């Protein structure tokens, strides 16, 4: 009898071959010795920490929080069919993998002496290589490019919910408290920002909740740009599922936000104003502020890196990945950060062994739900182009078809859930 | 061009001597004259070529727009609030159309 390998077995074999070619085997594992400090336990940092352990490297993971709440799938909480516990992860899996987990705020980084100081710890942590995956921070009042009137206090009235956690719960409570017939105003920044299709998935899932519970309500999207990710797919779904409920005001229709007034829940655009019963402000963003602890690490809002190693172009032995880096054609997504995390882990292990890193190929897939049974996706394949930046491979990737059956949309919604289960298990499981 | 309604933002009030921001946005395709349609025929140049603003009859801002300007030109500038009155905004289209708008300001 001839046994045919299942597709899964083939994938396992392929995976084994890839790992064998990239990671040291046998004795050379020990030669990858070195101390790596990773700051940030999200999609990027969590992946780096896990994969460096597979290469036998000592890893200390520092995060300000005791666990990580993912932005991906947090919109299901706002849609009323997901729960916070489903998007909340501890670092227990990291510890089981042998990662030394430190909970605390980093207060100083000495990139010359190669050590990191954590608040409350007298002794700095030494590193051979440092990996920063701090995600984003917001441009609040006082920062160039900020929305006038939007600061941390305003975020308690007009939540951003763009770092998942208490902000997600606050926005959910506001949606529950809103009367039927209310107006939800969402503001969306210009590029670049974390999760390009995220605001439109959020609008869809809030619409799902309102359609179910408060069908006379409306959603107004005030946008700082004229086009957006998966635009045709989203807009077709809105027409089909939520007719008349979502109004999108593009940049050239006056959607750019200049100022907010939390006291009256009013958003002032360049040319008009909108009052909301619930106002969700997704503010302009920048690299997580921890990058400011190293002079010249950030150029403008984000950090320039060598895409083969994700090592900073300005500061040696410091790697930056995920939302905080400039990754060319790769979007700021959890899946991008996860891919970049694997590339960084392999590169760091090679560098610690004195070997030359290999130029990577990377992928990204972003699923969005427009209701629990209707998923759409965009995917892309990336490599390093002749100009040394990350490019999209021509004619690779694409989006879900414009015309598809309900079964097809349902299947993609299931793929989305499958993607989330597997990536979160890989990182935090 | 049909349905062109320029957007204009001017502060309703200001103190004499204040520097005020004026914002404008006009929806226009701004064809630069260098692109081709599906049949390979050049799409003719069609842009807003001039924009100017007067404040109580005195010109305070003028811009000659070129084919490199992106669609839906958004122009903002700063001027000094000198006296109460009216700001008049004018856009000139290649096709001969003239679009106008005005806003009043109270200066104290």
By Cβ distance, the residue of A226, A252, A271 closest to B23 is A271
Taking CA–CA distances from B22, the nearest residue in chain A reads A270
A8 pLDDT band (50/70/90 cuts)? very low
Instruction: Write out the residue range of the structural domain in which residue B60 sits.
Output: 14-27+46-74+81-108
Q: Count of alpha carbons within 13 Å of B44, Cβ hemisphere only?
A: 3
Q: Would you say residue A134 has pLDDT above 80?
A: yes
CB-based burial label for A52 (10 Å; 0-12, 13-18, 19+): buried
Q: Would you say residue A56 has pLDDT above 80?
A: yes
CB B72 to CB A226 under 8 A?
A: yes
Q: What percent of chain A has pLDDT over 70?
A: 93
Contact in structure between A300 and A292 (CB atoms under 8 Å):
no
pLDDT in tens, A370-414: 999 999 999 999 999 999 999 999 999 999 999 999 999 999 999
In a domain, B6, yes or no: no
CB B27 to CB A226 under 8 A?
A: no
The reported pTM is: 0.91
CB B71 to CB A252 under 8 A?
A: yes
In a domain, B108, yes or no: yes
pLDDT in tens, A33-54: 799 999 999 999 999 999 999 9
CB proximity list for A247: less than 8 A, separation 6 or greater: A218, A219, A220, A221
Nearest-Cα distance to chain A for B59, in Å, is 22
**A to B CB pairs, distance under 8 Å:** 21
Contact in structure between A111 and A293 (CB atoms under 8 Å):
no
In a domain, B55, yes or no: yes
pLDDT in tens, B32-41: 999 999 999 9
What is the Cα–Cα distance from A106 to B63, expressed in whole angstroms? 50
Mean pLDDT of A129-133: 98
In a domain, B22, yes or no: yes
A190 touches chain B (CB under 8 A): no
Full set of structural domains in chain A with CATH: 25-135+288-428 (3.50.50.60), 154-284 (3.50.50.60)
Contact in structure between A237 and A406 (CB atoms under 8 Å):
no
What is the Cα–Cα distance from B60 to B83, expressed in whole angstroms? 13
Phi, psi for residue A240 in degrees, rounded to 5: -75, -45
B29 touches chain A (CB under 8 A): no
Residue of B5, B25, B70, B73 to mutate for A, most A C-beta atoms under 10 A? B25
Mean pLDDT of A228-238: 97
What is the Cα–Cα distance from A153 to B62, expressed in whole angstroms? 41
What is the Cα–Cα distance from A278 to A218, expressed in whole angstroms? 11
In a domain, B36, yes or no: no
pLDDT in tens, A250-269: 999 999 999 999 999 999 99
Residue of A190, A254, A259 to mutate for B, most B C-beta atoms under 10 A? A254
Phi, psi for residue A108 in degrees, rounded to 5: -155, 145
Contact in structure between B8 and B90 (CB atoms under 8 Å):
no
Nearest-Cα distance to chain B for A252, in Å, is 6
In a domain, B103, yes or no: yes
Contact in structure between A33 and A57 (CB atoms under 8 Å):
yes
* Angle in degrees, CA B53, B55, B56, rounded to 5: 135
What is the Cα–Cα distance from A123 to A291, expressed in whole angstroms? 21
Q: Would strands A285-287 and A106-110 be described as parallel, antiparallel, or unpaired?
A: unpaired
CB B71 to CB A270 under 8 A?
A: no
Contact in structure between A133 and A45 (CB atoms under 8 Å):
yes
- DSSP letter string, A379-406: EEEEEE-TTSSEEEPTT--EE--SS--H
Which pLDDT belongs to residue B58? 97
A10 pLDDT band (50/70/90 cuts)? very low
Q: Would you say residue B1 has pLDDT above 60?
A: no
Residues in chain B: 108
pLDDT in tens, A178-187: 999 999 999 9
Which pLDDT belongs to residue A33? 73
A274 pLDDT band (50/70/90 cuts)? very high
Q: Would you say residue A240 has pLDDT above 60?
A: yes
CA of A349: how far to CAs of A49, A105, A245, A343, A354, in Å?
Answer: 11, 26, 51, 10, 9
Q: Into how many domains does chain B fold?
A: 1
In a domain, B35, yes or no: no
Q: Which chain B residues have a beta carbon less than 8 Å from that of A254?
A: 7, 25
CB A271 to CB B27 under 8 A?
A: no
A254 touches chain B (CB under 8 A): yes
CATH number at residue B100: 2.60.40.10
Q: Would you say residue A20 has pLDDT above 70?
A: no
Which pLDDT belongs to residue A28? 46
In a domain, B85, yes or no: yes
């Amino acid at each position: 009898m001839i046994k045919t390998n299942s597709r899964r077995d083939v994938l396992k074999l392929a995976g084994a071959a890839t790992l064998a070619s990239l990671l040291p085997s046998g004795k050379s594992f020990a030669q990858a010795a070195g101390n790596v400090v990773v700051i940030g336990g999200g999609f990027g940092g969590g992946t780096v920490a896990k994969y460096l352990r597979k290469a036998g490297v000592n890893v200390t993971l520092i995060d300000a929080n005791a666990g990580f709440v993912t932005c991906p799938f947090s919109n299901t909480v706002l849609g009323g069919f997901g729960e916070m516990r489903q998007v909340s992860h501890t670092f227990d899996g990291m510890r089981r993998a042998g990662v030394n987990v430190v909970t605390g705020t980093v207060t100083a980084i000495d990139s010359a002496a190669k050590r990191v100081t954590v608040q409350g710890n007298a002794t700095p942590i030494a590193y051979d290589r440092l990996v920063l995956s701090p995600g984003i921070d917001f441009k609040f009042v006082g920062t160039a490019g900020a929305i006038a009137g939007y600061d941390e206090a305003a975020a308690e009235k007009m939540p951003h919910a763009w770092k998942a956690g208490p902000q997600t719960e606050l926005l959910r409570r506001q949606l529950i408290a809103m009367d039927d017939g209310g107006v939800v105003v969402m503001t969306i920044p210009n590029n670049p920002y974390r999760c390009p299709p995220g605001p439109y998935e959020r609008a869809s899932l809030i619409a799902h909740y309102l359609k179910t519970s408060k069908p006379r309500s409306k959603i107004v999207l005030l946008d700082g740009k004229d086009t957006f990710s998966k635009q045709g797919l989203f807009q077709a779904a809105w027409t089909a599922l939520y007719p008349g409920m979502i109004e999108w005001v593009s940049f050239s229709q006056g959607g750019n936000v200049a100022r907010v007034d939390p006291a009256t829940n009013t958003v002032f655009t360049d040319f008009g104003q909108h009052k909301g019963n619930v106002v969700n402000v997704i503010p302009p963003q920048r690299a997580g502020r921890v990058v400011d602890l190293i002079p010249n690490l950030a150029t403008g809002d984000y950090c320039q890196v060598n895409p083969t190693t994700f090592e900073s172009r300005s500061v040696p032995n410091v790697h930056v990945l995920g939302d905080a880096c400039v990754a060319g054609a790769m979007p700021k997504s959890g899946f991008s950060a996860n891919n970049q995390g694997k590339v960084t882990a392999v590169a760091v292990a090679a560098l610690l062994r004195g070997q030359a890193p290999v130029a990577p190929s990377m992928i990204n897939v972003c699923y969005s739900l427009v209701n629990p049974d209707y998923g759409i996706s965009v995917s892309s394949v990336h490599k390093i182009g002749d100009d040394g930046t990350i490019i999209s491979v021509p004619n690779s990737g694409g989006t879900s078809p414009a015309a598809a059956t309900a079964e097809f949309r349902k299947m993609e919604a299931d793929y989305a859930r499958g993607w989330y289960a597997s990536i979160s298990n890989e990182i935090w499981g | 061009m049909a349905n062109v309604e320029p957007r204009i933002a001017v502060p309703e009030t200001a103190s004499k001597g204040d520097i005020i921001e004026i914002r404008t946005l006009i929806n226009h395709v701004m064809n630069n004259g260098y692109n081709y349609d599906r049949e390979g025929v050049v799409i003719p140049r069609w842009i807003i070529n001039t924009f100017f603003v007067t404040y109580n009859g005195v010109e305070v801002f003028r811009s000659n727009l070129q084919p490199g300007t992106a669609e839906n030109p958004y122009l903002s500038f700063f001027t000094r609030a000198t006296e109460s009155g009216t700001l008049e905004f004018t856009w000139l289209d290649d096709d001969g159309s003239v679009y106008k708008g005005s806003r009043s300001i109270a200066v104290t």
